[in-house]
Amino acid sequence: MSDSGKITSSHRSRAAVIYVRQSTLIQLERNTESTARQYDLVHRALQLGWPREAIRVVDADLGVSGSVLGQREGFESLVAEVALGQVGIIVALEASRLARDNAAWYRLLDLAGCATRWSPTPTRCITRRCSATGCCSG
């Protein structure tokens, strides 16, 4: 099944968030192609059916390591929006853009766990689904 076949109208009724991050200011300066590829993920959300006005880019963490806890304003804002059920999809170049430590990664997955949300990488989607008996990976 294609990624777009797994996404429902419920997902599309919420925001698509493109998360953009480079770990250091030097990477931001030197790896301009990677940064551009991350911004281009807006096109992926469009392909998956989100209208442009429902797509938001979170790039407040450019130059901040993914392993730094409590200092990533963009990530913390994203986690809050997920917890409030406002995010239907998170699009990132790779999972390590979101978090490099298990605590932050699992916190995000747990908060997303009781409402179906997708986090597609260029090659796959990650989801957690909630059933009547509880949350499970799917």
Annotated active-site residue 23? The verdict is: yes
Beta carbons within 8 Å of 132's beta carbon, 6+ residues apart = none
Would you list the DSSP string of the chain? Answer: --HHHH--HHHHTSEEEEE---SSHHHHHH-HHHHHHHHTHHHHHHHTT--GGGEEEE-TTTT--TT-TT--HHHHHHHHHHHTT-EEEEE-SSHHHH-SSHHHHHHHHHHHTTS-EEEE-SS-EEEEEEETTEEEE-
The single residue of 23, 34, 119, 131 carrying the catalytic annotation is 23
The set of catalytic residues is 23
